[in-house]
Structure 1
Amino acid sequence: MDSHGQYEQQVVWTVVASDLGPLLLAATGEGLVNVVFHATGPVRDKALARLASRLGAEPVEAPGSPLLTEATGQLRDYFAGGRQAFELPLDWSLISGFSRQVLRELASGVPFGTVVGYGDLADRVGQPGAAQAVGTAMGANPLPLVVPCHRVVESDGGIGGFGGGLETKRKLLALEGVLPEPLF
């Protein structure tokens, strides 16, 4: 069990309370690998089963793991208004190709309090006209919140879709000062 190779494949997870409800955080030896909204019962179990099949290791609940503890603290600071950027190692192994390219650009190039259109993001990665593919990439984002797909909106001013639900997206954009605080 002390073989280094086995340790690297280990997947640890925890569920933390947030302003948006329970969030599942999962990490590998590489970094944070997955953030899942609304992580109660069946949603959590399905996410853990998907991680096990995609990463080839049974996720282990380990709320005290250093990376999950750090991620939890940074998320708490973000929701309290004290943090605008996450400084966490990320494991991109759940996403590849065009989607990974788009999400990396989003993570590095669209700061707190700003938004970008789907088409603009496609242009930034050298794929003009690929707005729909950018939307697909956002929907497949394994690291929402930390890789801020909530900051991608429609060019006509529409809010666009969001895997965590539109109410969640509105709350995040309000927290970042992009939208007025929801009235209800």
Structure 2
Amino acid sequence: MDDLESRLSRLTAPDLKPPVFPTADVAYTLHDTPIGTMLLAVANGRVVASSFGDEETMTNRLARAVSTRVLRQPRPLDDVRRQLDEYLAGRRHEFDLEVDLALATPFQRLVLTDLPTYTSYGRTTTYGELAGELHKPKAARAVGTALGGNPVCVVLPCHRVIGSSGALTGYAGGLDAKRFLLNLEAKS
């Protein structure tokens, strides 16, 4: 014990600096919004998650799909948070962010890649119409399942897809969040 105390007493203030961690391969943060807490993540400057999923589940998915170096580092997400906040306040209609669908399945990539092409701010489409646009007219239910697992919610506007009757159906953030987003866009 004396040896440890001796070594500690010789340390000077500069030696006691907190550690500096390297930049993560995947940086993430939890961001409180009017529609709930969202986990936002970027890798190589691209948004890989904008999700309502819980932190442990999402960081494990990111570690498996992108890199094991997943760290909670909010600074790399400043632009993502700013754009999301502007959108949720009604001051932004489109995101200027690069997206990486590393967490999506091949079918989700097919559905999500051109989603902004088939829906626009303030306009909705149905699962069936979207399936038809994708040249898979009998795949409405599969399209719904793919959208339900959208890893980049809000940024890729799966909330704009509704049931054929006009009813609001499932949304990862809950139907209240979906209603909020559609009402927000309807006001503009």
Same fold (TM over 0.5): yes
| 1:117 and 2:132 aligned | no
Of 14, 37, 49, the match for 1:34? 49
Check conservation: 1:20, 1:168, Cα contact below 8 A: yes
Q: Structure 2 matches for 1:114-153, cutoff 5 A?
A: 114-153=123-162
Q: Give distance in 2, aligned partners of 1:48 and 1:92.
A: 15
| 1:170 and 2:159 aligned | no
How far 1:58 moved relative to its partner? 2.9
Identify the residue that residue 35 of structure 2 maps to in structure 1: 20
TM-score normalized by the length of structure 2: 0.82
Greater shift after overlay, 43-52 or 83-92? 43-52
Q: Give distance in 1, aligned partners of 2:96 and 2:139.
A: 29
Q: Alignment partner of 1:175: what SS?
A: helix
Query: Structure 1 residues 21, 163: closer, same or farther in 2, change over 3 A?
Result: closer
Identify the residue that residue 52 of structure 1 maps to in structure 2: 63
Q: Give distance in 2, aligned partners of 1:140 and 1:22.
A: 17
Q: Give distance in 1, aligned partners of 2:70 and 2:116.
A: 25
Instruction: Report % sequence identity.
Output: 37
Q: Give distance in 1, aligned partners of 2:131 and 2:61.
A: 28
Q: Structure 2 matches for 1:20-99, cutoff 5 A?
A: 20-29=35-44, 31-37=46-52, 43-65=54-76, 68-99=77-108
Letter in 2 for 1:35: S
Check conservation: 1:162, 1:169, Cα contact below 8 A: yes
How far 1:112 moved relative to its partner? 0.9
TM-score normalized by the length of structure 1: 0.84
Check conservation: 1:122, 1:129, Cα contact below 8 A: yes
Identify the residue that residue 165 of structure 2 maps to in structure 1: 156
More strand by share: 2
Q: Alignment partner of 2:142: what SS?
A: helix
Check conservation: 1:105, 1:125, Cα contact below 8 A: no
Q: Give distance in 2, aligned partners of 1:57 and 1:30.
A: 17
Provide Cα deviations, 1:21-51, integer angstroms capped at 9, x if missing partner.
22110011151001122x6xxx212221221
How far 1:55 moved relative to its partner? 2.0
Higher RCO (CA 8 Å, separation ≥ 6 residues): 2
Provide Cα deviations, 1:44-72, integer angstroms capped at 9, x if missing partner.
1222122112223231111111xx11111
Runs of 4+ in 1 over 6 A off after TM superposition: none
Structure 2: segments with no counterpart, 5+ residues: 1-21
Question: Which is greater in Rg?
Answer: 2
Structure 1: segments with no counterpart, 5+ residues: 1-5, 179-184
